[in-house]
Amino acid sequence: MKKALTVFATVLLGLPLAAQAAPHPKNDPASILNRILAVLQTDPDSASDACVEALKELHKTQKIVADQDTDSTNSDAAVARDVLESDFEETIEVCGTDARRLCRTKSETQPKLPGLCAAIRPRPQSEGDD
């Protein structure tokens, strides 16, 4: 099942996401999740089943949003985008917990981790950020 993390991460990294239109791309949900997944890809077995399930749900919602965006008559697109935003938040929370745990426990044994772990620390927002 952990192989699914790599598959979903690859898919997520390659998808154009509505959330990527945020004014500060480094702090938009897709960028944050991509950094978290980069940490987890160093040791896919460290991803919990909850993380993998959250990624699956996110992927399903992304597909629904993409399909609805191509159908200009669909009035449910706004609802689907709201669900997508919630799915991103949930996935970031669940997978972020796994990534931070990995950073705490294996940073010394995996040379790539310190830089990747530094990238998942929350970035402070300036006063003009929304």
58-109 pLDDT per residue, tens: 999 998 888 877 765 566 777 888 899 999 999 999 999 999 999 999 988 8
Residue 33 belongs to a domain = yes
Residue 20 has pLDDT above 50, yes or no: no
DSSP 3-state assignment of 1?
Answer: coil
Confidence class for position 22, pLDDT limits 50, 70, 90: very low
Domain of residue 97: give its range: 3-14+25-119
In a domain, 130, yes or no: no
In a domain, 20, yes or no: no
Query: Contact at 8 Å (CB) between 95 and 41?
Result: no
Within a domain: residue 73? yes
Higher-scoring residue by pLDDT: 51, 80: 51
Query: Rounded to whole angstroms, how far apart are CA atoms 38 and 31?
Result: 11
Of the chain, the end-to-end C-alpha distance in Å amounts to 37
Say whether 13 sits in a helix, a strand or coil.
helix
**Total structural domains within the chain:** 1
Lowest mean pLDDT among 8-12, 54-58, 72-76, 112-116: 8-12
Which tokens go with 83?
A: 């669900």
Residue 124 resides in a domain? no
* 83 within a domain of the structure (yes/no): yes
* 102 inside domain: yes
Query: Residue 99 and residue 36: Cα distance in Å, rounded?
Result: 6
